[in-house]
């Protein structure tokens, strides 16, 4: 067996697994590298009669994640930390780089598989689900991901985590209960069909490019939410978001949008024009859509994001 080639075939799946565990794309990349290095160093101890290569690699990756999480706080989004902001002036918002913020995950890095598995994978990587996972203790998080996302049998999960089947079943039951309590209610949210989604995003991007507040407002649900880590402030409701965007537009500079996909959801790379005319990357916006409009916008201000999303750092005029 070509050991390196065989393990590399699982890299994308391991990356998604480590992302679900940590809520961070960049931490996940580091942990997958650590997993591959540990696997290579332990290649002579791997016994295919005891576990599949996939299970063996997930054991290494899960243990690496658990070790990393033992000394870190959970990753958060602004709406999980405080009430909605009443200050809508962008110039008055503070930046909190000291908080561990949740990060987005590019769809292009999801493991390639059959269509049914892709749908399941994307459902289990949506931002609301990843954010809810962060409320679970790390070992409960691992059990839930291994059992409910990766569909590992209880006995295999118990062996992977070096515990008993009874402990796995108990942890899974507690994890499901806590996840249900932490996951926001969908409130009847129904995703639009593809054509409706393209039209809605097209109108949003056109409104941003035209700096048209009224057109932007018409794309939002009345109860829409906007949050943009590392700003801890977040805005609830169409009127509050529009008031905030009015102060953004007033600062000058045109915008351009480049469509992409993140966390199984539609997304854009947003760019703002500089004095020299070029457009510099500002952030990635991830959208939660309803048949009646945009329900939620998660904007991630992180200068490291263009590369993994395949986005340019800047656009020419």
Q: What are the domain boundaries of the chain?
A: 3-73+114-182, 194-315
Mean per-residue pLDDT pooled into runs of 10, the chain (317 residues): 85 96 97 96 88 93 96 93 94 94 96 60 86 95 95 93 95 92 61 83 97 97 97 97 96 94 96 95 96 95 96 93
Alpha-carbon distance of 29 to 7, in angstroms, equals 15
Q: What was the pLDDT predicted at 121?
A: 60
Alpha-carbon distance of 181 to 177, in angstroms, equals 6
Looking up tokens 């916008």, which residue turns up?
A: 297
CA distances from 308 to 86, 270, 289, 291, 312 (A): 34, 15, 23, 30, 10
CA distances from 50 to 46, 54, 150, 284 (A): 9, 12, 19, 43
Q: How many CB atoms lie within 10 A of CB 252?
A: 10
2: which residues sit within 8 A by CB, 6+ positions away?
none
Instruction: Note the pTM of the prediction, 2 decimals.
Output: 0.93
Alpha-carbon distance of 15 to 11, in angstroms, equals 6
Q: Which two tokens stand for residue 12?
A: 């994308």
Q: Is 268 exposed, middle or buried (0-12, 13-18, 19+ CB in 10 A)?
A: buried
209-212 long-range Cβ contacts below 8 angstroms, 24+ apart: 209/254, 209/255, 209/256, 209/257, 211/249, 211/254, 211/255
Handedness of CA 308, 102, 30, 171 (dihedral sign): negative
Is residue 39 within 8 Å of 133, Cβ to Cβ?
Answer: no
Q: What was the pLDDT predicted at 116?
A: 47
Is residue 34 within 8 Å of 41, Cβ to Cβ?
Answer: no
Alpha-carbon distance of 301 to 282, in angstroms, equals 6
Indicate the CATH number for domain 194-315.
3.10.450.50
Looking up tokens 């960049």, which residue turns up?
A: 26
Which residue in 196, 209, 228 sits closest to 293, CA to CA?
196
CA distances from 5 to 9, 36, 40, 53, 281 (A): 6, 11, 11, 12, 35
Q: Which two tokens stand for residue 258?
A: 């480049």
Is residue 290 within 8 Å of 189, Cβ to Cβ?
Answer: yes
The neighbouring-strand residues paired with 235 are 226
Q: How many CB atoms lie within 10 A of CB 112?
A: 9
The SS3 call for residue 71 is coil
Tell me the CATH class for 3-73+114-182: mainly alpha
Alpha-carbon distance of 106 to 208, in angstroms, equals 22
């Amino acid at each position: 067996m070509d050991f390196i080639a065989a393990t590399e075939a699982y890299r994308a799946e391991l990356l998604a697994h480590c992302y679900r565990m940590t809520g961070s794309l960049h931490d996940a990349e580091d942990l997958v590298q650590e997993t591959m290095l540990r696997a290579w160093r332990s290649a002579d101890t791997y016994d295919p009669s005891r576990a599949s290569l996939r299970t063996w690699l997930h054991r290494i990756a899960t243990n690496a994640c658990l070790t990393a999480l033992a000394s870190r706080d959970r990753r958060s989004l602004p709406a999980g930390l405080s009430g909605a902001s009443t200050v809508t002036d962008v110039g008055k918002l503070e930046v909190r780089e000291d908080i561990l913020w949740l990060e987005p995950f590019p769809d292009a890095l999801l493991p390639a598989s059959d269509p049914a598995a892709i749908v399941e994978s994307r459902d289990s990587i949506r931002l609301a689900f990843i954010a809810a996972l962060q409320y679970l203790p790390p070992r409960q998080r691992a059990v839930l991901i291994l059992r409910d996302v990766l569909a590992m049998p209880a006995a295999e999960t118990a062996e992977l985590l070096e515990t008993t089947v009874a402990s796995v079943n108990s942890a899974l039951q507690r994890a499901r209960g806590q996840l249900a309590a932490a996951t926001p209610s969908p409130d009847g949210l129904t995703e639009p069909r593809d054509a409706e989604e393209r039209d809605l995003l097209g109108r949003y991007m056109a409104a941003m490019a035209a700096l048209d507040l009224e057109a932007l407002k018409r794309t939002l649900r009345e109860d829409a939410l906007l949050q943009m880590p590392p700003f801890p402030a977040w805005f609830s409701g169409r009127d509050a978001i529009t008031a905030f965007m009015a102060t953004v537009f007033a600062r000058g500079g045109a915008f351009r949008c480049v469509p992409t996909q993140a966390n199984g959801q539609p997304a854009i790379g947003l760019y703002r024009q500089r004095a020299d005319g070029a457009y510099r990357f500002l952030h990635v916006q991830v959208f939660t859509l309803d048949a009646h409009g945009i329900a939620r916008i998660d904007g991630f201000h992180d200068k490291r994001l263009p590369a993994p999303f395949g986005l340019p750092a800047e656009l020419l005029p």
